[in-house]
Amino acid sequence: MKKVLIVVDMQNDFIDGALGTKEAQAIVPNVVEKIKNWEGDIIITQDTHKENYLETREGKYLPVEHCIRGTKGWELNAEVKEALDAKNAYKSYVEKNSFGEIVVAEKCFMQNYDYIEFIGLCTEICVINNLLLVKALCPEVDVAVDASCCAGVTPDGHEAALLVAKSCQVKIL
């Protein structure tokens, strides 16, 4: 079985930085273990903004500077990065400047995976956007999200996103 793990935006600003939460901090050990034990390909996304973030459409709706290229907040969490480094996982690395990135879905489509699993941050924003893009482009592929390796902006938002995913025939682990 050809499978891929998509690690969404496990960056400092979403964990303990500008937009960090205790829920995001709590999933880091689960994410690290998932990566260490994964047998298959890995795609990593990294939310990436420029210095003019507050002038962008997203910046007007979410006026909190975060994931500015080159800052500590933009970097992947050190523990997650170490696990990814050990897997030599950077051949499928995607910087994204919006919630969803079509390149992620295209990579999944082009590789003809049998199974696609999502983990990361934030469940109700970037995880669900990328998950639905993949589901739309790869409707016959088994897609799952590991809820223990995801966290939302709020616990309610996390649960709502999982409900949407489930209603779109995504398996919730």
- What domains are there in the chain, each with its CATH number? 3-48+75-172 (3.40.50.850)
- The pTM assigned to this predicted structure is 0.96
What is the structure's pLDDT at 1?
94
Average pLDDT for runs of 10 along the chain of length 173: 97 97 98 97 96 93 94 97 89 88 95 97 97 97 98 97 98 98
What is the structure's pLDDT at 93?
85
Choose among 17, 19, 36, 55: nearest CA to 119: 36
Choose among 33, 161, 155: nearest CA to 100: 161
What is the structure's pLDDT at 89?
79
What is the structure's pLDDT at 88?
84
